Amino acid sequence: MFSFKTESIFGQTKQLEREIDQFVDILSEVGLVFKTIIPSYLSNGASNKFDEMVKQVSEMESKADKITKEVERTLYEETLIPDSRSDVLRLLEHMDELIGMYQGNCYHFSIQKPDFPEEFHEDLKNLTETVVNCVESLCLTVRSFFRDIKSVRDNAHKVTYYEKESDKQFSSLARKIFDTDLSLDKKMHLRYFVEKIDRICDHAEDIADEVQIYAIKRAI
């Protein structure tokens, strides 16, 4: 009886480890797709390729949702990691919000079709790259929370670094936008998109801060 139970605990553990890894993979992949979507939009507008990538992000978001629900169900039904359970679930929820933010940005580009003058293209691409790097560092932070707690602080530090970079890039781009002769409504429309991309970094930094606290709580 006990050997069976023990086996099932280890089996479920491996399955859960895989699911959590998959979830982090999805967040990382969504970032990589997002990094391609923005240049694609800036070059070709809302083309078929752009729509396909938006659809791809949407599918990844649904997959991440499913994993979150499955992990939540298993953690509660099998009473696994009782003392870290709420932290892990909150972490997954907040990371899911990040995926949602990527998706939201894609939809807004697809629906509102902002018209970025060419002089801002390079800055917007750079901002996007910094944001994706920031989330990528968050993925490393989360992975180290589960596997290598010593590295949490180092990886979280990178998130903070990219967040600061992104803030600088956002301010600079916003300033450039408002320094042009575009109409105010257009300026505000462009600023809205730049700000929305930058917010991904802010959220990533909040999550990295949370992970650092969870890591302290994990100490025996």
Partner 1 sequence: MDLTILVFLLGGLFLGWSLGANDAANVFGTAVGTRMIRFQTAAIVCGIFVILGAVISGAGTTATLGKLGSINAMPGAFAACVAAGLAVYLMTKSGLPVSTTQAIVGAIVGWNIYTGSSTNIQILVTIILTWVLCPVIAGLIAMFFFILTKKLLQTTSLHLLRLDAYTRTALLLAGAFGAYSLGANNIANVMGVFVPISPFTEINFMNILTLSSTGQLFLLGGIAIAVGVITYSKRVMLTVGNDLLKLSPVAAFIVVISHSIVLFLFASQGISNFLHSINLPSIPLVPVSSSQAIVGAVIGIGLLKGGKEVKWDIASKIAVGWVVLPIIAALISFVILFVLQNIFNLTVYF
Using CB under 8 A, which of 4, 48, 79, 111 touches partner 1?
Answer: 79
CA distances from 95 to 30, 37, 136, 188 (A): 12, 20, 12, 28
Q: Which of residues 81-120 bind partner 1 (CB under 8 A)?
A: 81-84, 88
Q: Does 17 bind partner 1 (CB under 8 A)?
A: yes
Q: Does 10 bind partner 1 (CB under 8 A)?
A: yes
Instruction: State the DSSP string of 64-79.
Output: HHHHHHHHHHHHHHTT
Q: Does 184 bind partner 1 (CB under 8 A)?
A: no
CB of 128 to partner 1, least distance (A): 32
Q: Does 48 bind partner 1 (CB under 8 A)?
A: no
Cβ-based neighbours of 120, under 8 Å, separated by 6 or more: 173, 176, 177, 190
CB of 60 to partner 1, least distance (A): 23
Using CB under 8 A, which of 4, 77, 185, 220 touches partner 1?
Answer: 220
Nearer to partner 1, 145 or 170 (CB): 145
Using CB under 8 A, which of 2, 4, 179, 181 touches partner 1?
Answer: 2
CA angle, residues 159, 164, 169, in degrees to nearest 5:
120
CB of 149 to partner 1, least distance (A): 8
* Site stretch for partner 1 (CB under 8 A), options 25-33, 42-50, 51-59, 73-81: 73-81
Neighbours of 9 (CB within 10 A): 11
CB of 2 to partner 1, least distance (A): 7
Instruction: Pull the structure tokens for residue 71.
Output: 């992990």
Cβ-based neighbours of 210, under 8 Å, separated by 6 or more: 87, 90, 91, 94
* Contact status, residue 54 vs residue 107, Cβ threshold 8 Å: yes
In single-letter form, the type of residue at position 100 comes to: G
Site string for partner 1, 136-165 (x = CB under 8 A): ---------xxxxxx---------------
Q: How far apart are CA 71 and CA 89, in angstroms?
A: 8
List contacts with partner 1 (CB under 8 A): 2, 6, 9-10, 13, 16-17, 20, 79-84, 88, 145-150, 218-220
